[in-house]
Structure 1
């Protein structure tokens, strides 16, 4: 008999196909927004080991490393890479200054692949020729490439429910004041519309996170504009790291914190007593890194294959239409069980945690631990529920 027939202690991410089986499942949709203005290509010359390196190359390298990690640990997540402040445009909305990088030549999110990483790694060499860089927010112009980029990213994140997907934008830039060259009412209007566009995206369940790149001998001042864009209040502003560092390793560490913070792996209900229950979120503290699930494709159409099982009678060769029976020998007789009856026999819980009582910590033995530990915390979205 299975020790956990209801999969009460199984993480949702252990089964990437469970979104089609009616179970709670969280998949991550990520759009990387990379500033491609000319100042991102300025060499970083403050340190000798950074000679010839620029912030655009750091952002590309960090995104590439992140995609490699996702292939191993979360291969069923979907990503898109979007450059803004570009001379050429490529997006469904046909907005100026925004170029969506996609190997498959279709404007949509896709799973990270080796081909995507290989072509993205060489983007810096061909960027000037194939995409180009320019200032998208300049004085005397009504073009607002940052507004356009958020709009395009929001459209890319349109699919999926907020209950089953985490939607995020990760913004890379070294310009803490994108509207600094504009004055008067034009600047106020562009700031207002950009902040409203960001708020509209956040209202749809899309989080916007900033990964700032500091310029030589100058700290990234997030309070000038981006604090309002990403929704930082005074308390959070003090804790926000003003710069992600000039070195590549510093930026990788900062991106890793953004990518893997507090990933919910399951939602369960904790029954206390007298019809009172609490919705809980579980978080993976330590998990082994495993290769992604293999998807079998048809060799001609490249369509994913579906597995179907059929039972054939060993005596007549006829296809069995009725559900199969399980047999257990008992006192010389064969007792038949249907699949549904066997499932009910194995059922030892309701798929929820129930408080039975309290015991001292000394009663908890090491060998009781059947799998890696999971951190349990009350959900902020669902409070007490009365049956």
Structure 2
């Protein structure tokens, strides 16, 4: 059962619980509860025709291993999330505290193995011992003699979510059982289970339940079933589910929330910003003191001292200063705040341009995904959706004044529309929305170095195209979620081994290593042919450019080509007076590629525009002429 995220839940009475992590971004907490069936059929090993798979685990143990693996992974990727494990159908009963029965909260045949809280090393060790020790598992996993009430199980899950995670943004309940139709012959028990399911749905847990007379508007079942695995058994599907969860387990980061988005004068809506793609790095959350019997969290403190007297200095005595003109100019914290203040956080549209005008090189920061929020301004979703569809249909982008947070440096940004993307199963990969693409200023753009470029012949390009085609990924799609950072995963693996008293691993698992044998099998012969062709083409090029300096294009003295160049120079000099204001198309193309059009004279540019039929205003300045020539060359290069 998946959670209902902020995009789908709409307005809630309770506010989502968010924290600020060490990088300054807002992180959202999740609460995940596993409810695992311990019925006799779940404790029986699946029958396998293949003798190699006779040692497979029972469904209950397999589900516990999945929960254990997920808990290991989530404690690193989402350290603020809560996780718990509830066993139902057991002989023994256990809830959160000992006096639960005295308060009338007794849940027969429900055993809370791990309470819903941030998992610690002790909880993970206990779960590891349970899944690895058959005797301990056999002693705990004793099925009850009578069937358990599903209404009681769902009510127990509801109570856990309510007491432990009342304000969390999402609450997930994974119900693992082999009984798809519990209480099939008892209408009263089915109705009671539907009522408890509705309570979970109202709490914020996305759940599909059958309609009851008191609730005819119950959510309809999903019509599209999940794609089955090749083997078709439930254990493989469970492992596939775990792999799918792990591939989507990167922490969600909110850059800002409920920020003002001004589309026009008097037209303002509310938006939230998210970091969709971000490099993950090891981050230290706290200091740990290892000198005692057991590791303890340490609180650090620092003291400022005067350099001459070593006297302790309070913060109120400190002022920031900057050197200017040989003197030191100091500012108070209030003055520094005023200097850095450019207004409240805002995304303000100042105009619209065709999306084709955005060059590919104008990208030096990760883009921010924005989505509407109804918390401050009602109707933001409709206005946001209309703007996104209009920009997407017209292939337009918005130019905006962008201040993401207080005291941030204001920038110009492009507001780019993004369409919804679905995978082959119809599951949403990327939601529809807008992207804020920060544009560079003039001093952020570096000039392209002037280097001599040797154009490869067509025969080499054709052979290399064949090699690239042979090395394409399946379906020509690269999914970064399938390739974890090996150094980061190795760091987490060492950290986990130290925390859980496990043996240190010998070598890291690196999924980014190339598959050399497969590459050699598919493209080895083509690479050898391309190398031979490269040698032949290089010999041809070397003969054609004999006596010429490949770095500067200068001609060596005494060479046969020198006399020809001298004659060519004299001929050019004799005719230069006649065609001093003309330039060839090849020279103009080189000037465009090296960003040297502005270095040409106005006479040369006007003559070239007249030859190509480019109309110029009578009072056009050199900057206007350069822009017209650059636009003409860009259109020609894109067509070619």
Instruction: Report 1:154-165 matches (<5 A).
Output: 154-157=158-161, 158-160=163-165, 162=167, 165=169
User: Which residue is 1:132 aligned to?
Assistant: 142
Change (3 A) 1:283 1:117: same
| Kept after mapping to 2: 8 A contact 1:73/1:289 | no
| Kept after mapping to 1: 8 A contact 2:322/2:328 | yes
Change (3 A) 1:86 1:264: same
Determine whether 1:370 maps to 2:370. no
Residue 64 (structure 1) shift: 2.0
Change (3 A) 1:122 1:262: closer
Determine whether 1:238 maps to 2:242. no
Change (3 A) 1:337 1:189: farther
| Kept after mapping to 1: 8 A contact 2:210/2:220 | no
> Looking at both structures, which has the greater relative contact order when contacts are Cα pairs under 8 Å and sequence separation is at least 6?
1
User: Which residue is 1:43 aligned to?
Assistant: 45
User: Which residue is 2:31 aligned to?
Assistant: 29
Tell me the distance in 2 between the aligned counterparts of 1:110 and 1:292: 22
Tell me the distance in 2 between the aligned counterparts of 1:290 and 1:13: 21
| Kept after mapping to 2: 8 A contact 1:13/1:265 | no
Aligned match of 1:325 in 316, 319, 322? 319
Q: What SS does the corresponding residue of 2:223 show, helix, strand or coil?
A: helix
Determine whether 1:80 maps to 2:87. no
Instruction: Report 1:1-387 matches (<5 A).
Output: 15-16=20-21, 25-46=27-48, 48=50, 50-53=53-56, 54-92=58-96, 93=100, 94-102=106-114, 108-124=115-131, 125=134, 126-134=136-144, 137=147, 144=149, 146-157=150-161, 158-160=163-165, 162=167, 165-180=169-184, 183=185, 187-208=186-207, 232-234=219-221, 237-241=222-226, 245-246=232-233, 248=235, 250-257=237-244, 260=248, 265-266=253-254, 267-269=257-259, 270-282=261-273, 284-291=275-282, 293-297=284-288, 299=292, 304-316=297-309, 317-320=311-314, 322=316, 324-348=318-342, 350-361=344-355, 362-366=357-361, 368-371=363-366, 373-379=367-373, 383-384=378-379
User: Which residue is 1:3 aligned to?
Assistant: none
Change (3 A) 1:333 1:291: closer
Of residues 291-300 and 317-326 in structure 1, the stretch that sits farther from structure 2 once superposed is: 291-300
TM-score (norm 1): 0.71
Change (3 A) 1:69 1:302: closer
Residue 363 (structure 1) shift: 1.8
Q: What SS does the corresponding residue of 1:63 show, helix, strand or coil?
A: helix
User: Which residue is 1:6 aligned to?
Assistant: none
| More helix as a share of residues | 2
Tell me the distance in 2 between the aligned counterparts of 1:380 and 1:354: 18
| Kept after mapping to 2: 8 A contact 1:67/1:117 | yes
Q: What SS does the corresponding residue of 1:60 show, helix, strand or coil?
A: helix
Q: What SS does the corresponding residue of 2:174 show, helix, strand or coil?
A: strand
Of residues 346-355 and 258-267 in structure 1, the stretch that sits farther from structure 2 once superposed is: 258-267
Q: Number of paired residues?
A: 336
Q: What SS does the corresponding residue of 2:287 show, helix, strand or coil?
A: coil
TM-score (norm 2): 0.46
User: Which residue is 1:218 aligned to?
Assistant: none
Q: What SS does the corresponding residue of 1:206 show, helix, strand or coil?
A: coil
Tell me the distance in 2 between the aligned counterparts of 1:280 and 1:383: 11
Tell me the distance in 1 between the aligned counterparts of 2:351 and 2:19: 30
Higher radius of gyration, 1 or 2: 2
Tell me the distance in 2 between the aligned counterparts of 1:224 and 1:174: 22
Residue 328 (structure 1) shift: 1.0
Change (3 A) 1:309 1:350: farther
| Kept after mapping to 2: 8 A contact 1:16/1:76 | no
Residue 292 (structure 1) shift: 5.8
Unpaired segments ≥5 residues, structure 2: 1-16, 101-105, 384-640
Of residues 64-73 and 119-128 in structure 1, the stretch that sits farther from structure 2 once superposed is: 119-128
Unpaired segments ≥5 residues, structure 1: 1-11, 103-107, 138-142, 210-221
Residue 289 (structure 1) shift: 4.2
Tell me the distance in 2 between the aligned counterparts of 1:55 and 1:46: 13
RMSD: 3.8
